[in-house]
Each structure stands twice: as C-alpha cells, then as structure tokens.
Amino acid sequence: MIGSLLAKLRLVWDHCTVCGGNLGSSPQGYLCPSCLSGIKPAPTSRREPLPYVSAYRVYAPYEGVLAEAIRLIKFRGVRPLARLLGERIGGDLRSFREEVSADVITFVPVHPFRYWGRGFDHNREILRGTDLRWEEILVRTKHTKPLARYGKEERFRKVESAFSPAKGERVEGKRVLVFDDVLTTGATAVSVSRTLLLHGADAVFFYFLSREG
Ligand SMILES: [Zn+2]
C-alpha cells in the first residue's frame, strides 16, 4: 500500500511539471531539457514608453515554460533554474547592453525579508547564470508585500522611494542597465530609474526577463 503510494508520488516527482515528459538528467528536478530548450527570445511589438526609462527590452511574454520556471524559482525556491534561465538570456542581454551602450549592468534586489525566506535573490541568481559582468548597485529600503495584490495606482505608491544606491555606489554619469524578472505595470522600473537619475545617472535602461499581460 505505502509502496504503491510512494511509486505514484515518485511518478509525479520524476516528470516535467509542464509536459509530463521524462526529466532525464535535469539538475533542478522540475523541467525537462526539451521544455527548457523551448525558452527563447520572443520580442513583443508592444513598446509603450516607461517614464524615466530611456529604453527597455523584454526577453519573452510571461507564459508557458518561462512563466512556470519563474514561478518555480520565486515561489518554490528552485535555485538551479535561475542559473539555467541566466544561461538562456545571456546572449540577448549582451546584445541589448551593446545596443544602448550601457556602462554597467545591475538588478532590482528583493528586500532582505524575502531574501531570507527564499534563501537567495532570484534576480542576482539569474544574472549569475549569464557570462556578463554586473554589479550590485541598488538596495531596497522599504519592504513591500507582493505587488500582485494591488491595483495599478497603488503599485506606483507602494514602490515610491523603495530603492536607493548601495552605500559607496556611485552612478554619476553612468548609463545603467537594470535587470528585473517581470514587467507588469512598470511601477518598480519607474521608481528605480527615478532614484538612479536623482543620484546622477546619465540614463537608465531596463531588461526584463518577461512581461505579464
Ligand atoms: Zn517538459
């Protein structure tokens, strides 16, 4: 009885959460190599401007395998998947950095409260999977609950002045490229950009792994 139950559970554990296929030698235990290799750049035609952001690029829409991978990383703490995503976006991020002539790449950090809960900062972990140089320029000074539960207006209020440059980090005269996982309303990007510009950055660009809606 217990044996067969375990066998059933094992069947679930051993299979890709998206297609149900065999996980093979997948190091993270959730997505099969075939689904992972299907994560590719899929630029959207939507390009409405974001205030304070000179230009931005979105790797692909928030759907399918990519959305599942992001959920697994953020809500189930599947750390190896973050590195794998980083490997996939590295080339596209590099080309965007060259296109906008950015001096430095950085990322939107999570607040330490959430970092402790998960054990790692997912954006930093994704960048680690790329072969690009990046720096930790920003700190989150205000703990905000997950923004998904708020309406658009409220999201902008919640993240207002929620960031600042880390102690000793100078951004004057620099063209800063910021990485973030998901573009939803743009509230976070606007807040980060305004902060960096107020501290003397020359221009701020954003690269999003994904876009919702
Ligand atoms: Zn699969």
Q: What is the pLDDT of residue 13?
A: 60
The proportion of the chain whose per-residue pLDDT surpasses 70, expressed as a percent, equals 83
Separation CA 89–CA 180 (nearest Å): 12
* CA pseudo-torsion sign 44, 45, 49, 54: positive
What is the Å distance from ligand 1's center to 81 Cα? 13
What is the Å distance from ligand 1's center to 141 Cα? 39
Helices 122-129 + 79-100 axis angle, to 10: 70
User: What is the pTM (predicted TM-score) of this model?
Assistant: 0.86
In this structure, are residues 176 and 204 in contact, taking their beta carbons and an 8 Å threshold? yes
Q: What is the pLDDT of residue 169?
A: 81
Q: What is the pLDDT of residue 180?
A: 97
Series of mean pLDDT values for 10-residue runs along the chain (213 residues): 55 78 83 92 84 96 95 91 95 97 96 72 96 94 65 66 83 97 93 94 97 87
Separation CA 27–CA 8 (nearest Å): 21
Is CATH 3.40.50 the classification given to domain 38-211? yes
What is the Å distance from ligand 1's center to 122 Cα? 22
What is the Å distance from ligand 1's center to 69 Cα? 11
Q: Where are the domains of the chain?
A: 1-37, 38-211
Q: What is the pLDDT of residue 157?
A: 63
What is the Å distance from ligand 1's center to 20 Cα? 6
What is the Å distance from ligand 1's center to 17 Cα? 7
Q: What is the pLDDT of residue 123?
A: 96
Q: What is the pLDDT of residue 155?
A: 65
In this structure, are residues 121 and 134 in contact, taking their beta carbons and an 8 Å threshold? no
